[in-house]
Amino acid sequence: MDRVLELGGYAAGYCGRLFVQAGCDVVRVETGERPPAWVSDEAMDLYLHAGKRRIRTDDPRLIAELASRADVVVAEGHTADAVEALGFDAWDAPVRAAITPFGRTGPKRNWQASTNVLLAMGGYTYIMGDPDRAPLTLPGHYPEFQSGAFAYAAANACRLAGESEVIDIGMLEVVMALSQFTTVMWHCDGAIRERHGSDFYHVVPTNLFRCADGWAHINIVPGFWDPFAAFLDLPELVLDERFGTNELRRQNRHALHAIIDAAVAPMTRAEIRRRAEDCRIPVGVVQSLDDVLADPHLAVRGFWQSVHGGESAPVRSPRRAWRIDGQTPPDRDLALLETPAAEARDG
């Protein structure tokens, strides 16, 4: 199994998390500075760093020594120069991945960034939110986590091939690479993709609807139109000429949304799910965090792993997104470890 050295913020942290869950020995160097997060330091540590060995140091010689003993180094900096200042280019490890907001080259390589800035520049923000209001930024750490996942894939590909490589991942490009159809829509159709609240707009109905005890998201591509009418208990919709095709439903979206609003409003989320299952249509209900934690499906599938650190009681944290041969997470708590430097160095 690889020895992985990790330095930096939440992108490197997410990459290291994936290595931990693959069974690798991950040493995380912490320098004391950490970027603001959406959650407390405690929560972020439990989520990202459980199972890693962590040392606090800013001694460049020690870091270089740790790097020389690693198979993979993942270093994140808030600018290109910050990664260089760590000594990244001099480290001796077969695979070195640098994650920075804008990449290690180019005129903006040292621009300052935050999650909302990267999402804005990468084209996500403009299309999220309501048309008559400010666009909405995405909460959480999407550019960072996705960048970490790219770094993980790239580093493992290099290890598989037995190749030494220096990897340069810019988070802005990560966001842009994951655009849905925004870019080709402009280049091929001359159209700027606009924002329409929760309404996907091009396929109708695809939107959030308020129900008796919350919200439900309904996503009816044409093949599901007839069963959707049954779901609503409005079979007459199938014969309604205003809604006979997706194009007609687009043209008459307001009338259709009003009908759905009225039909869904008295239903509970549980009833909506039951009906959706019976009619085999794609509907999800908005789950609270309590709902997700209590979700019977996730429990049955062994989705959670227990993590603890310090004085805290154990909490449930998601395992990695995939399972191999049905394996569930190790039947042990993962602990946050504070590792003396010598121990980290020697393994």
- Beta-carbon contacts of 256 under 8 Å, excluding residues fewer than 6 positions away, are 204, 205, 242, 243, 249
| Nearest-approach distance from CB 110 to other proteins, in angstroms | 9
Stretch that binds other proteins, among 61-69, 82-90, 294-302, 334-342 (CB under 8 A): 294-302
DSSP string, 33-76: -----SS-HHHHHHHHHTT-EEEE---HHHHHHHHHT-SEEEEE
Total number of residues that touch other proteins (CB under 8 A): 152
DSSP run (H or E) holding 84: helix 80-85
Determine if 328 is a binding residue for other proteins (CB under 8 A).
no
Q: How many residues does the chain have?
A: 347
Taking the least distance from each CB to other proteins, the nearer of 7 and 72 is 72
Determine if 114 is a binding residue for other proteins (CB under 8 A).
yes
Closest CA to 344 of 71, 54, 46: 54
Query: How large is the C-alpha radius of gyration of the chain?
Result: 24
Q: Which of residues 129-148 bind other proteins (CB under 8 A)?
A: 129-130, 133-142, 145-147
Instruction: Please give the backbone phi and psi of residue 84, each rounded to the nearest 5 degrees, phi first.
Output: -60, -40
The alpha helices in 86-138, defined as continuous H runs, are: 115-121
Q: Calculate the alpha carbon distances from 315 to 296, 325, 334 in Å.
A: 17, 25, 10
Taking the least distance from each CB to other proteins, the nearer of 14 and 66 is 14
Helix (H, G, I), strand (E, B) or coil at 304: strand
| Nearest-approach distance from CB 278 to other proteins, in angstroms | 11
The alpha helices in 178-224, defined as continuous H runs, are: 182-189
**Residue in 108, 230, 244, 341 binding other proteins, rule: CB under 8 A:** 108
Helix (H, G, I), strand (E, B) or coil at 170: strand
| Nearest-approach distance from CB 62 to other proteins, in angstroms | 26
Residue 99 in tokens: 């994650």
Contact 124, 182 (CB under 8 A): no
Q: Which of residues 215-234 bind other proteins (CB under 8 A)?
A: 215-219, 221-222, 224
Q: Which of residues 249-288 bind other proteins (CB under 8 A)?
A: 276-277, 280-288
Contact 169, 105 (CB under 8 A): no
Distance between first and last Cα of the chain: 13
| Spatial separation of the C-alpha atoms in residues 203 and 261, rounded to whole Å | 17
| Nearest-approach distance from CB 105 to other proteins, in angstroms | 6
| Nearest-approach distance from CB 209 to other proteins, in angstroms | 11
Determine if 122 is a binding residue for other proteins (CB under 8 A).
yes
Helix (H, G, I), strand (E, B) or coil at 243: helix
Taking the least distance from each CB to other proteins, the nearer of 42 and 65 is 42
Taking the least distance from each CB to other proteins, the nearer of 86 and 125 is 125
Taking the least distance from each CB to other proteins, the nearer of 218 and 259 is 218
Q: Which of residues 65-84 bind other proteins (CB under 8 A)?
A: none
| Nearest-approach distance from CB 218 to other proteins, in angstroms | 7
| Nearest-approach distance from CB 107 to other proteins, in angstroms | 5
**Residue in 60, 235, 310, 318 binding other proteins, rule: CB under 8 A:** 318
| Nearest-approach distance from CB 83 to other proteins, in angstroms | 13
Q: Which of residues 167-226 bind other proteins (CB under 8 A)?
A: 167-170, 172-174, 176-193, 195-203, 206-208, 215-219, 221-222, 224
Determine if 86 is a binding residue for other proteins (CB under 8 A).
no
| Spatial separation of the C-alpha atoms in residues 207 and 200, rounded to whole Å | 7
**Residue in 62, 127, 234, 263 binding other proteins, rule: CB under 8 A:** 127
Stretch that binds other proteins, among 42-50, 65-73, 82-90, 236-244 (CB under 8 A): 42-50
